[in-house]
Structure 1
């Protein structure tokens, strides 16, 4: 399910969080799918349960998971996740664009970068059967 790389500079909880987020985003975990318990996942990864709990809590705050008391954690519906994630990314984009403009980049340069990213994405989508 999740692979940890102890040579990775990211903290273990971040690797767990990123791994679970990837499973939700790619559809490997469908909306409503039950995630392993904190204890079970910690045992299978041979790490402290507090690390898993921290990752689960962060993913719940981001909207990727929801918890039902006494039942466990479940993958959130993708539409909810996408809307919340899109809003967060747009706030980050606005902040980055503002800083880049402050650092001397022109609006035209930013627009070209955005167009290049859109072309790369379109090329990736064409490659996918």
Structure 2
């Protein structure tokens, strides 16, 4: 059971999406992508709140939603853990569904900046390869 750092998460304070929702969506993506595996210990509410300069209630709200959804489970004396999943990994289609809102926001911003689609796609490809 690995303990994960609060630095797994990042927030965009000025985004239209509430901070708790950003945390929930990031946790979903981390689990779907395999960076968080069943049984992995999550950083504490306090650790995330301190690392990201957030109100602990905001982090607690995100964890509560994830627990209600069955993505996280609370274990006394240990804290929050990634719940055991019935399937080893979500389907490609469900992982694409998790990525789509992020790409829609990026596309909207690219249009606002009047950037050519080919340039944006080339940048995205370069970023994907850098992260590998």
TM-score (structure 2 length as normaliser)? 0.58
Matched, 1:67 2:77: no
Pairing of 1:94-113 with structure 2 (within 5 A): none
* RCO comparison, higher one (Cα < 8 Å, 6+): 2
Q: 1:27 aligns with which of 31, 34, 53?
A: 34
Where does residue 104 of structure 1 map in the other structure?
A: none
Which one has the largest radius of gyration? 1
Which residue matches 2:130?
Answer: none
Provide Cα deviations, 1:87-129, integer angstroms capped at 9, x if missing partner. xxxxxxxxxxxxxxxxxxxxxxxxxxxxxxxxxxxxxxxxxxx
Give the aligned length.
83
CA distance in 2, matches of 1:23, 1:56: 14
Q: Deviations over 1:11-44 (max 9, x none)?
A: 1000011111111111100100000011011111
Is the contact made by 1:30 and 1:75 (CA closer than 8 Å) also made in structure 2?
yes
Structure 1: which 5+ residue stretches go unaligned?
87-129
**Corresponding residue of 1:101:** none
Question: What SS does structure 2 have at the residue aligned with 1:36?
Answer: coil
Summarize deviations over 1:50-88 as a string: whole Å, max 9, x none: 111000010000010000122100001232696xxx9xx
For residue 2 of structure 1, report the CA deviation from its aligned partner: 1.3
Among residues 10, 14, 17, which one is paired with 2:21 in the alignment?
14
Q: Does the CA contact (< 8 Å) of 1:17 and 1:55 recur in 2? A: yes
